[in-house]
Structures are given as C-alpha cells and as structure tokens.
Homo-oligomer: A and B are copies of this chain.
C-alpha cells in the first residue's frame, strides 16, 4: 500500500494556558457557599456571565410545581456555630462552608452533648476531613466536622446557633445559555452547581462547560448547543418541566461532572446505551489516548437520571473522570482547589471539544462512484511515494469511507468498523467530498 498526502492536522489540545485560566475561575468560585437555592448560586452565575455574557439567569418561585416535585423554600445561612461551656466557638461555619448541614433549619440554645451528638456528622475512617452532608427534603439541622475535632467535644453542654432562613417566598436559580447552530436540533450540556466549596464536585464540570461554551461560540455549529447550570435533581426537574419544546429538540446530551481530578475518564452511557452520543463518546475516548472506561446506564448518579427518566428518555450520557464515591476526597473537605489541577481541566476541555466535533462530524455519505473503487491516483489522493503509519491510515480512511458510504453507515460507524480515528475519517470525508466522490446525506 502506498501512502498519500495528509491534510494538515487540525490544532490538537488546547494550550496549557487554558488550564491556568480554567483553574483561576475555579479558585474564584470555590469560596462561595452554594446550595440548591440561595445567593450562592446567584453569585456563581454572575461570575459565569463575565465569561458567557449571553447566559440567562432564571428565578423560579418556591412552591412552583415541577413534574412530581415542588420548588423548595429558599435557604439562606448567615451564621452557624457551636460554643463550648467556656464560650469558645468549637465549630464555626465561617471557618468552612462544609461545617453546616445544608438546609439546616434555624436553631439556638444550649444542648446536652448527647443531644448535640445526634446532629453531628464526621468520618471516623477519615478523621482529618470534614464531610459534606445535606438534608434538603427532611427538616433537620446539624454540623459536619472532622472526627478529630469531634473527639475533643467533652463538655457537658454546648451552645448552638444556626442563623438560617427557609423562605417560602424565595426562589430557585439556574443559568441557561443557547448557542444557535445551523440546525434547530440541540446538544444539551448540563452541570450541577449546587455544591459549596467542593472543587472537583462540581466546579470542575462547570468550568469545563464554561470554557467549552466559549470555544463553541467561536466556531460554526451544525447543532444548537444549550448549556444548563442548575442545582442537582431539582434543577434539571425544573428545567425539564419548563421547556417541553426544547426537550423535543434534544438529539444528544452530556452531563459534565468531576472533570478535574487525577483519574482516567469515565463515560456512563445514556439510557439508550447505543445512542449517537454513546457511540461518539466511546470512539472519542478510544482515540483520545488517555485511560478511560465506558460504563452502562444506571438510573442513579447525576441529572442524567432525570433526562433519562422513561417519559423523557433523552440520550444524555455522563462524562466524568473517576466517578462519585470512588475517590477518597469525594464529598469531603479534601476536594479542594489543590485537588484539581490545571492540566486535568485542560485535558477534560480538550476531550469535550473532541466529543462535540465528533457529533458535528457524524453524517452518512453516499459514494458517488460506487461501482468498483474510484481511481484515487488521478484525483491526487493516491501517492506513489510516502510511508509511515499516518500515511497508511489516511489511505485506509479513504478506502473505508468509499466502501461504507452506501447511505447506511454513519461516520461513527465507519470509525467503529475500521478502527480508524474519528478525526482522521472526518478529514478524509472532507477530502473525498472536495473531489466529488462523497456526498453527505
């Protein structure tokens, strides 16, 4: 087999500079105390609008019905502390956002240690770390603290104060950005933005999504892209309940989460398991070069649960690095700014870009010279001299596309059957289209 001219390789990874900018945004967002409602989300989205000015911020009143749910009261937290008999603050929300149980009801007064203990959460197996705990839908109050800190609480009585509000006249906040494409068909990108001071979960997904949207905004788009940034579960439920028409236009979707940690990539299939986004993710990960794993659909996890409920049945997968619950820092104070590295964010961005490119590239073609092989030589696509694996792959990409372009094989299917990279096949398809051997369907 001889080799042939390779079109110039498109620019590969985002420069490491992207990583630094991504990490700076993450570090800026980290200190904000987010929850599923409240000013933390508003402050977060305000900063995101500096990057994506077209981002729309929606407020949905507490009490609004949403599918089987109701928008909860808005939670605000001002102060939360425990003082010992000597009046010293032994636990203080000001020291770390994680110290207060999310959605704690207001409380104040003196408690015997045994009573207080029922409202404390710590991790005996990870005694230095503060856990992250919530009680959104069951009224409760509590404090999270390191187990070492807890063991020092030996007084008989403690004074407790949680100065919080659960405002039935408040609202739930989410952000939404639409990047119109040539087609009304949509790609949904969704991130939860309800966790306080946890870097990987999920400021990493938010930051990757913001930079991905910036990059998508700069380029021609076949698809319309829709970015939804909202609180987990209730956020996607609220969005789904308010956007029946947009729901009907979603062709592919991705939940982006846990994209800043050190592990390999994990793609969790959509409920369809063989949707186009599932094919694209598997192939892009195959081509990408990093360690990865493809996992089957599971009706547990992030907001893909809601998008993939049987009534909506949207083809939305979930892309992460090491999944939730499988790394020691998960939902603890160790998931901090240092746990997420710039290079990891940049690599995640690069992967999501490749995945969007694969979705954009995936078409079926018709071979316009389908009887026998067309003579590539006289079209300048077959060179007598050359070599190396890249040249051989290019020649094979041309032959595979010609052979399978019978209208019933998509580019991703050609990538699957041939073993060749999606990006290489995309370039080869453009070259064959240029010499009028392929016609997109």
Contact = CB atoms under 8 A, between A and B. Distances in A.
Contacts of A339: none
A138 B371 contact: no
A296 B1 CA distance: 18
B309 A375 contact: no
A375 B1 contact: no
B306 A375 contact: no
A378 B69 CA distance: 10
Nearest to A66: B372
A46 interface: no
Contacts of A312: 371-372
A306 B371 CA distance: 8
A274 interface: no
Contact of A311 (B138, B236, B372, B377): B372
Main SS of the interface on chain A?
A: loop
A233 B373 CA distance: 9
B399 A299 contact: yes
Contacts of A396: 299-300
Q: Give the number of times this chain occurs in the complex, counting copies.
A: 3
Interface string A363-393: 0000101111111011000001000000000
Interface string A245-267: 00000000000000000000000
A131 to B, nearest CB: 14
Nearest to A395: B300
A69 B377 CA distance: 11
Interface residues of A, number: 46
B135 A404 contact: no
A305 B299 CA distance: 41
Nearest to A406: B310
Interface string A1-33: 100000000000000000000000000000000
Given A370-B311, A372-B312, A373-B68, A400 B299 contact: yes
A216 interface: no
Given A300-B399, A377-B138, A309 B372 contact: yes
Interface of A: 1, 66-69, 135, 137-138, 140, 233, 236-237, 240-241, 271, 296, 299-300, 305-306, 308-313, 367, 369-375, 377-378, 384, 396, 399-400, 402-406, 417
30 contacts: A66-B372, A67-B369, A67-B372, A68-B373, A68-B375, A69-B372, A69-B375, A135-B384, A137-B377, A137-B378, A138-B384, A237-B372, A240-B372, A271-B403, A296-B417, A299-B396, A299-B399, A299-B402, A299-B403, A300-B399, A305-B373, A305-B403, A308-B403, A309-B367, A309-B373, A309-B403, A310-B370, A310-B402, A310-B403, A311-B367
